[in-house]
Structure 1
Amino acid sequence: MRFFGQKVSADITLQSEELSEWTKAINADPTLKFASTVAVNSNVRDALITRDSKTKYTTGVFNNVVTPEGAPRMNQKSSGRCWLFAATNTLRIPLMSKYNLEKIELSPAFLFFYDKLEKANFFLEQIVDTAAEDIDSRIVQHLLTDPVSDGGQFTMFANIIEKYGLVPMSSYGESASTENSAVLNELVTTLLRQYAGELREAIANKKDPKPLQKEQMKRIHQLLVLFLGPPPSEFDWEFVDKDNKYHSIKGLTPKRFAKECIGFNGESPVSLLNDPRNEYEKPVHVKRLGNVVEAGEVTYFNVDIDVLANKAIERIKENKPVFFGTHTPIYHHNKTGIIDTHIWDYESLGFKPTQSKADRLRYHQSLMTHAMVFTGVQLNDKGEPIRWKVENSWGKDQGKEGYYTMSHDFFKEYVYQVVVDKNSLVEYIDKLKEDAIQLEPWDPCGALAQ
């Protein structure tokens, strides 16, 4: 190899003779030779599905299921709004029971508008706060990478509802730029990177950045209104219940709808995390990760994976759906709706990774990328979980009518977060208030919001 033009000796170099010997060894192994025939001539994601996995995880039967099931199936389309869909899907089930509804859609688009607005302001605040850092510092470069991504965390969802409320889809529906957010994100990001330079220059010249930042946010707000439409400040909620009876609740504000109709309390949810790199039963804080400036940044409570599972089971038994964060699409098969670490017989290809969950986080092999909802769990005679029922937000044509079945083996290895109520954590109340473990903004446990 060469380093600054100088040839440097290496301990390992690949020789063509050695590669030939390796190839001969593969060809001499009947199992690998057959596996190669399959891999070369077919889509291994279909050809290598194991019979055992299909038998165990296509049953669709669960002995603990939340009722009523949320309807209709939701579809985030070409956007990264899984967290908004998952979170609103957890809220609609109690709403359906309360108002005797067959189906209800809450508006991710409403939350999307205010999340984009608040993220833009949060970004500019971070730029001001890091103005003394070199432009090439890791933190400034990280902030500039994706200022207003579609992603988010349940804490950020709660922040938006507490500040702005929520509305039914009928009062603020989808638009071209909520269903396909690429162009809007490009334009907003272009402006924010420009604004970052303007703010840093103003601060370098000893000017107060706040008037400039306010004017910048006015232009971001204008762009969002033009692309998404102005969110309602007041609306009438009209619906027909399962008995075909018409109802109308007039003069609602988004905050009243969230508080009075849904009963949302932003102080109640706690995000449990399973991060085996760090000490359990401790709060974990991701630096500079958030949306609403005055609401603070994302914090979890780190617990063992069995605690994570047991708290999710408790919630399902209380007839409450469970928001969770996981690694997707690893070991997901959309056609069958199976999520299982053993769904494909990769071992026949000689592929058998052995990294631990902690090391997969350390070495960037795994991270939290997608949010969905647990609506059921199958328990064995000992009360131990075997499989989980998962509601996704990719439409009814993915999985089995929008639902997936997840093995508990996958849960242990690739589920990182579940959201529960604070009153279910009485044994941890004092520990919730302890000083938090600090994670860097680019940590994989913050990836769902990036």
Structure 2
Amino acid sequence: MANSTSDINLESLSQWTEEFKTDLKTQFGGSVLQHANADDVLINRDQEIANKNFFNHKIEIEGLPVMDQKASGRCWLFASTNMLRVGAMKKYNLKEVQLSPSFLFFHDKLERANYFLQMIIDTYKEPAESRLVQWFLLDPAQDGGQFTMMTQIVDKYGIVPDQIYPDSYNTTNTRVMNRMLNFKLREFAMTLREALAAGKDVSIQRKEMQREVYRLLTMFLGNPPKPTEEFTWEFYDKDGKYQSIKTTPLKYAADILEFNTPDYVSLLNDPRNDYNKLVKVDRLGNVANGDAVVYLNLEAEKLAQAVVHRIKSNKPVFFGCDTPKFMDKKRGIIDVDLWDFQLLGYDVDSMSKKERVVYGHSLMTHAMLITAVHVDDAGKPVRYRVENSWGSKSGQDGYYVMSQKFFEEYVYQVVVEKNELAALDVDAKVLDSTDYIVLPPYDPMGALAHL
């Protein structure tokens, strides 16, 4: 075989071996990495100490109890319900309250399956092997989602407390259920495409497919209350006084939680695209014929400013980031500089945020809640208190300290109310624009919905 300068040859290996045997940094790194976990032994003690769990601005009430999504991709629903319960705790003098992510999860699965069927119908003329169709077929029953997708479910079905629709086994361990749903949905896709290619009407078949998905979900997850079905919410307040309220899922969302979904907007930091522009991911959604998932793209500094404003206004903040990058679950710290990787000659700052997204090194993968922020004398944020949904044994009793550097480099989304845009010097009229930056379905900014 002819030699090529592009091949790895044995002479090069011998040369590199001798070279690195005399390189002290490489030898030190080998001594460490061959006997221990780098994440355990490269902790920067000074940075660990600097990430203090003290904040000069904190919301008045933090949600209790600490929630645990377990073996599921429901972070977006936990972050959403953790945000919404805070107002109810204050309103009804509660020590703690659990809303039901499972109720939202059931209806998201049902609607998501129907949305998938719609996408298959819309694209039946595309080759089954096309990137677009293959993207839909990749994981049609996924657990993930976006804030706007949550509001779509709330608007149609409402919300209930956890006592009315608690977790089942399959809401906390979704792997087997998703596997079976995926098979069924791919089978439906084949049936629909073949029927449409033959010029047949598929409306009756689609209705039967919806019915079958609903049947499977009731077996796996149980029967949820209907949107207008009355239930009784019972609780003890902080004073030990028993209270009960008769309501429905839709009224619980509107009257108890006072959640008006049109009030909210998702801010995005995507440095690949122009700022002060609306961005949407094509064909990202869960309710057929529902609203598109739209973001307002702003600088990272604006997102941080939005968080500070909301926390000072006594409101928690839903946010989406790239996790578990630079997250120490034992110490409860999220910080790019927590590890001395440079001791190994490894530079974690060699790529910009834009470059990491473009080259597949970073994407939005997890949603959590910010409940406090520490700002310096100039009013600039230094660190944040983050409520996660991995149980009280994760982090510092379920909470994490997140650095400003991590926020700037790996946070992509925060959710605010539209009337808060003025505090960011952003004209709310931009939300009325019909000029969108449209990203493909498989773009990293849609990754939170594909977990």
Query: SS of 1:171's equivalent?
Result: coil
Contact 1:281 1:428 in 2 (8 A): no
Determine whether 1:431 maps to 2:430: yes
Residue 200 of structure 1 aligns with which residue?
A: 193
The correspondence for 2:125, drawn from 116, 123, 132, is: 132
- 1:14-413 equivalences under 5 Å are 14-57=8-51, 59-233=52-226, 234-250=230-246, 252-353=247-348, 354-413=350-409
Query: How many aligned positions are there?
Result: 442
Cα distance in 1 between the residues matched to 2:43 and 2:318: 28
Cα distance in 2 between the residues matched to 1:356 and 1:10: 34
Cα distance in 2 between the residues matched to 1:168 and 1:31: 56
Counterpart residue identity of residue 406, structure 1: M
Cα distance in 2 between the residues matched to 1:333 and 1:52: 15
Cα distance in 1 between the residues matched to 2:17 and 2:116: 52
Deviations 1:24-65 (A, max 9, x none): 2222122321221011111111111111221111x2100111
Cα distance in 2 between the residues matched to 1:280 and 1:445: 15
Q: Compare 353-362 and 87-96 and name the one that shifted more.
A: 353-362
Query: SS of 1:22's equivalent?
Result: helix
**Distance 1:254-1:30 versus aligned 2 partners, 3 A rule:** same
Cα distance in 1 between the residues matched to 2:17 and 2:2: 28
**Distance 1:31-1:277 versus aligned 2 partners, 3 A rule:** same
Residue 3 of structure 1 aligns with which residue?
A: none
Cα distance in 2 between the residues matched to 1:163 and 1:153: 16
Identity of aligned residues (%): 49
Cα distance in 2 between the residues matched to 1:356 and 1:243: 52
Query: SS of 1:417's equivalent?
Result: strand
Counterpart residue identity of residue 212, structure 2: R
Query: SS of 1:244's equivalent?
Result: coil
The correspondence for 2:413, drawn from 410, 417, 423, is: 417
**Distance 1:330-1:205 versus aligned 2 partners, 3 A rule:** same
Instruction: Give the superposition deviation at 1:11.
Output: 4.4
Deviations 1:336-381 (A, max 9, x none): 0110111111111111141111111111110000000000111000
State the Cα RMSD in Å.
1.2
Counterpart residue identity of residue 412, structure 1: E
Contact 1:67 1:93 in 2 (8 A): no
Instruction: Give the superposition deviation at 1:226.
Output: 1.1
Cα distance in 2 between the residues matched to 1:425 and 1:285: 19
Instruction: Give the superposition deviation at 1:67.
Output: 1.7
Cα distance in 2 between the residues matched to 1:242 and 1:410: 37
Cα distance in 2 between the residues matched to 1:153 and 1:20: 51
Query: SS of 1:447's equivalent?
Result: helix
Residue 4 of structure 1 aligns with which residue?
A: none
Cα distance in 2 between the residues matched to 1:187 and 1:8: 51
Deviations 1:278-313 (A, max 9, x none): 000000010011001132321111000000110111
Instruction: Give the superposition deviation at 1:8.
Output: 9.2
Q: TM-score, normalised by structure 2?
A: 0.96
Cα distance in 2 between the residues matched to 1:199 and 1:11: 52
**Distance 1:41-1:199 versus aligned 2 partners, 3 A rule:** same
Query: SS of 2:90's equivalent?
Result: helix
Deviations 1:168-210 (A, max 9, x none): 0010000000000111111111110000011111111111111
Cα distance in 1 between the residues matched to 2:9 and 2:336: 35
**Distance 1:8-1:237 versus aligned 2 partners, 3 A rule:** farther
Query: SS of 1:328's equivalent?
Result: coil
Q: TM-score, normalised by structure 1?
A: 0.96
Give unmatched runs, 5+ long, in structure 1: 1-6
Query: SS of 1:170's equivalent?
Result: coil
Instruction: Give the superposition deviation at 1:15.
Output: 1.8
Cα distance in 1 between the residues matched to 2:249 and 2:143: 22
**Distance 1:34-1:9 versus aligned 2 partners, 3 A rule:** closer
Determine whether 1:442 maps to 2:430: no
